[in-house]
Amino acid sequence: MTVLIIILSVALIIVAYKYIKLSKSTKPIDKSMLPNGVDIDEKTLLPYKTNRVYGYGKEFNAFVTPNGKYFHRSRCNYVKSHKKILMHRYEALKKNYLPCPYCKPVSKVNAWYDDFIKKNNILD
């Protein structure tokens, strides 16, 4: 009887462990609302251009400077004379960087990305 209880307990632990593992495994993300040529980095959940040459692709690249409060386009004259740090545009916005008043980078999160976040229940 005791042996049977031990076997059942072990079996239960194995089943519970497998269940926890399964429920933790990442469910596939719904990318149907993404525009053509855009994919999502599954670790950061940030979009990038599939044909990018540098960083996340021109559309999503933002550049900040070590002590600056603005984010810039890559060709901005202001960043040319400073050490520039690549950042995702969405990350820059989230960190409250302001769009540079000279090079005027896009300063909104694309609507399809909001849809993507909502449909996949991704919390900010």
Q: Does 117 bind Zn ion (CB under 5 A)?
A: no
Task: CB nearer to Zn ion: give 18 or 69.
Answer: 69
Residues in the interface with Zn ion (CB under 5 A) total 6
Q: Does 85 bind Zn ion (CB under 5 A)?
A: no
Q: Which helix (H) or strand (E) holds 6?
A: helix 2-24
Six-digit token string for 4 = 């049977």
- Which SS3 state, helix, strand or coil, does residue 63 take? strand
Structural contact between residues 72 and 105, judged by C-beta atoms closer than 8 angstroms: yes
Q: Hey, which residues between 19 and 78 contact Zn ion (CB under 5 A)? A: 72, 76, 78
Applying CB under 5 A, the residues found at the interface with Zn ion are 72, 76, 78, 100, 102-103
